[in-house]
Amino acid sequence: MIIGNEPLDLRLTLIDSAQCFRWTERDGRFGAALERGPVWLRQTDGGIEAEGDFDPAALRRYLDLDRDYGAIAAEFAHIDQARRAMALFPGLRVLNQPPWEALVCFILSANNNVARIRSLTDALCRHCGADCGDGVLYGFPGPEALAACTEEALRALRVGYRAPYLIGAARRVLEGFSLDGLRDMPYDEAHARLTGLPGVGDKVADCVLLFGCGHASAFPVDVWVARLLRDWFGISGCSRPAMARRARALLGPHAGLMQQFLFHAARMGAIELSED
DNA sequence: ATCCAGGACGCTG
DNA sequence: CAGCGTCATGGA
């Protein structure tokens, strides 16, 4: 069925933009096992076509199809560099992922590259996620499944020193740490709570808030965004968290959405950045 | 071989 | 609070 015809570039949003690491492409279709089961997406002339087991409204929300990106662009129209970055990638959207998935994937992301984050995420899903039976798609393991893993088993998947972080975070969630509660909490409080989890520093916390908790102002600053803030916005000479604060103050309540366009522009070499 | 990757953590000033 | 070494892993 067609779930919408809003601007959405599936490959860019689900795979290339590195905000999510568990979609796979098979001959022009993009698949993942979401909460209800396997889903395959495809671009057609009539819009985005989806097959599989899903709730259409939930899938639209996951893909952020209900947000007016034209209005977002208008918000940044007066900031030259921001407007240009957004114009570079029409069809890029910021996903609304389950917070647990964002938490696990971005704990894995620490000091790691995108290809390996994707590889580790896949290994984790195959090891203890729900088997869809097609040999391709696996569900994302919940905190119960992850907490039940031994550190040795996770290290065997090549997650390295992140193994105890994953188990520790899973246990905290099982003990009552509410990921869903972060959504309706002020940004500062939600961020502070997240950084109390093992393996979660300022940057990973911002990724979880932006990609999994609906905090559109959360502004992750990695190496690429740091270079870009320096060269495009003159924000430099301070720590990464301080850079994030200044960027949020400059870009406003949807700063995080813009961050995704800036990140991708920097990473793709679409803008000129000087050496460190 | 050395450096880098969507960093976090623990220890020292 | 800031600075710095360390932590696995694999590709360039």
By the 8 A CB rule, do A75 and A252 touch?
Answer: yes
Give the residue from A29, A47, A209 showing the smallest Cα distance to A39. A29
Please tell me the predicted confidence (pLDDT) of residue A48.
98
pLDDT in tens, A203-254: 999 999 999 999 999 999 999 999 999 999 999 999 999 999 999 999 999 9
Residue A110: nearest nucleotide (C-alpha to C1'): B7
Q: A40-54, pLDDT tens digit by residue?
A: 999 999 999 999 999
Pick the catalytic residue from A203, A240, A248, A264.
Answer: A203
Distance from CA(A97) to C1'(C6), angstroms, rounded: 32
Burial of A42 (0-12, 13-18, 19+ CB in 10 A): middle
Q: What angle do CA A242, A243, A244 make, to 5 degrees?
A: 90
Q: What is the 3-state secondary structure (H, E, C) of A132-153?
A: CCCCCCECCCCHHHHHCCCHHH
Query: Which whole number is the average pLDDT over A8-31?
Result: 97
A120-176 pLDDT, tens digit per residue, is 999 999 999 999 999 999 999 999 999 999 999 999 999 999 999 999 999 999 999
Nucleotide minimizing C1' to CA distance for residue A238: C2
**pLDDT computed for residue A12 by the predictor:** 98
Measure A40 CA to C6 C1' (Å). 42
A150 among known catalytic residues: no
Task: Kindly report whether the global pTM for this prediction surpasses the value 0.85.
Answer: yes
Q: In terms of C-beta density within 10 A (0-12 exposed, 13-18 middle, 19 or more buried), how is residue A215 classed?
A: buried
Residue A269's pLDDT is what?
86
Percent of chain A with pLDDT over 90: 97
Distance of C1' in B8 from CA in A45, Å: 45
Element (H, E) at A11: helix A10-11
In single-letter form, the type of residue at position A161 comes to Y
CA-to-CA distance for A106 and A85, rounded, in angstroms? 24
The footprint of strand C (CB < 7 Å) covers A 111-113, 115-116, 155, 158, 160-161, 239, 242
Whose structure tokens read 């060269």? A231
The pLDDT tens digits for A74-117 are: 999 999 999 999 999 999 999 999 999 999 999 999 999 999 99
pLDDT value of position A275: 67
Q: Determine the protein residue whose CA lies at the shortest distance from the C1' of C12.
A: A113
Terminal alpha carbon distance of chain A: 48
DSSP class per residue in A162-208: GHHHHHHHHHHHHTT--SGGGGGS-HHHHHHHHTTSTT--HHHHHHH
